[in-house]
């Protein structure tokens, strides 16, 4: 079986360019189909069964049997579901990530990616290309963070989706970087606190601060309680463009600095530098773009930042310059199993 590349279609360099372009232009259909089958809960509909006839899956998900067959047949070409007998499908490891009931589930992420408010921005990508400004703001008349603060149900889905990604990134990060000896870790833009919960669980001597916007940290207590670490964690609501909690020996920015342009990112980093004292360290968990044509998922994530936020994904040189402006020095960059790297900065 041949599975697709990053964009969902097999890459055959010997294909005529118009044929390949035709395929590329249609490649977003893979994403749209994944979002749709996640929404109707096809992976969950297997229950405990290893394989299931499409008519039964259609009954369980309230969908049209032939339409669902066509969807699963298409997704099977990229390794999501497999047709084990005519019209009978099984979950593949990729398809299983769309179940809602598993650790590491990507179902909430799929539903978040499919939000009409988010997709609408990509329909106006030309605006971002022409102006360099977020299409999201152009379409919705307000910026991303204000929009989500005003829509609690979307904010809850966004935070859950970030939590799913965080689980994936956490394990890769923990394998790449030893944090023994860290006394007090402050996660800046911590979301619901999944990373702090995982780290406190792993390092019994560590205490942690979950710092995020007030309406976001309000959701963190349940995550910390579930990991049994609530007694060593503090939740602080605030605005990192104004200040961050002092007293940490280690500050973390996980999947957060890429949401901001250089000016705002420098403000956030300066606030962290001020809070950390001379012996501290900052750990940034983020994508680091290779220069030139080299393939990297972050080069597409960067387009998400362009369309939705004033952010950007950065190269190592861009990180180094950003740190320098904030009184920090890039100490090391370590690749991980995920697309993200661990970037360590210390006071200059």
**CB of 106 vs ligand SAM, minimal distance in Å:** 14
Report the greatest alpha carbon distance in the chain. Answer: 65
**CB of 299 vs ligand SAM, minimal distance in Å:** 18
CA distance 193 to 158: 14
CA distance 146 to 284: 25
**CB of 162 vs ligand SAM, minimal distance in Å:** 4
Using DSSP bridges, classify how beta strands 51-53 and 82-85 pair: parallel, antiparallel or unpaired. unpaired
**CB of 69 vs ligand SAM, minimal distance in Å:** 36
- Residue 44: is it exposed, middle or buried by C-beta count within 10 angstroms (0-12/13-18/19+)? middle
**CB of 46 vs ligand SAM, minimal distance in Å:** 28
Residue whose C-alpha is closest to residue 345's, from 311, 307, 314, 302:
314
CA distance 40 to 166: 24
CA distance 268 to 265: 5
Nearest to ligand SAM of 81, 255 (CB atom): 255
Nearest to ligand SAM of 83, 262 (CB atom): 262
Question: Would you please indicate which residues are annotated as catalytic (active-site) residues?
Answer: 258
Coil vs helix vs strand at 186: strand
Nearest to ligand SAM of 78, 283 (CB atom): 283
Nearest to ligand SAM of 71, 308 (CB atom): 308
What are the tokens at 43?
A: 């992976």
What are the tokens at 133?
A: 């400004």
CA distance 157 to 323: 32
Coil vs helix vs strand at 287: strand
Give buried/exposed letters for 119-131 (b at 16+ CB in 10 A, else e).
Answer: eebbeeeebbeee
The alpha carbons of the chain give a radius of gyration, in whole angstroms, of 21
Continuous segment of H or E residues that includes residue 92 = none
Interacting residue ranges for ligand SAM, rule: CB under 6 A = 145, 162, 165-166, 189-191, 212-213, 216, 239-241, 254-256, 259
Nearest to ligand SAM of 90, 167 (CB atom): 167
**CB of 239 vs ligand SAM, minimal distance in Å:** 4
Number of H helices, E strands in the chain: 17, 11
Nearest to ligand SAM of 54, 286 (CB atom): 286
């Amino acid at each position: 079986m041949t599975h697709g590349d990053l964009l969902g279609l097999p890459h055959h360099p010997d294909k005529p360019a118009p044929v390949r372009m035709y395929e590329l232009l249609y490649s977003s259909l893979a994403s749209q189909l994944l979002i749709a089958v996640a929404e109707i809960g096809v992976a969950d509909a297997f229950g405990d069964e290893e394989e299931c006839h499409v008519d039964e899956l259609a009954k369980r998900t309230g969908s049209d049997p032939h339409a669902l067959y066509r969807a699963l047949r298409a997704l099977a070409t990229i390794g999501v579901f497999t047709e084990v007998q005519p019209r009978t499908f099984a979950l593949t490891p990729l398809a299983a990530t769309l179940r809602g009931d598993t650790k590491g589930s990507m179902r909430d992420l799929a539903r978040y990616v499919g939000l009409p408010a988010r997709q609408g921005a990509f329909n106006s990508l030309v605006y971002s290309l022409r102006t360099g400004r977020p299409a999201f703001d152009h379409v919705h008349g307000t910026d991303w963070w204000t929009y989500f603060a005003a829509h609690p149900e979307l904010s809850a889905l966004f935070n859950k989706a970030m939590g799913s990604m965080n689980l994936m990134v956490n394990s890769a990060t923990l394998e790449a970087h030893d944090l023994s000896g860290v006394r007090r870790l402050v996660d800046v833009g911590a979301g619901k606190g999944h990373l702090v919960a995982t780290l406190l669980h792993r390092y019994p001597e560590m205490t942690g601060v979950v710092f995020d916007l007030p309406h976001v940290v309000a959701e963190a207590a349940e995550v910390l309680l579930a990991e049994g670490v609530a007694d060593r964690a503090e939740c602080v609501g605030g605005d990192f463009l104004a200040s961050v909690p002092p007293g940490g020996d280690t500050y973390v920015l996980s999947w957060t600095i890429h949401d901001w342009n250089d000016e705002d990112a420098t403000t956030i980093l300066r606030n962290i530098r001020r809070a950390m004292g001379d012996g501290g360290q900052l750990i940034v968990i983020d994508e680091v773009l290779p220069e030139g044509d080299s393939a990297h998922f972050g080069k597409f994530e960067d387009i998400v930042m362009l369309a939705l936020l004033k952010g950007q994904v950065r190269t190592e040189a861009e990180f180094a310059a950003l740190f320098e402006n904030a009184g920090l020095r890039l100490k090391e960059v370590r690749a991980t199993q995920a697309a993200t790297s661990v970037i360590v900065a210390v006071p200059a």
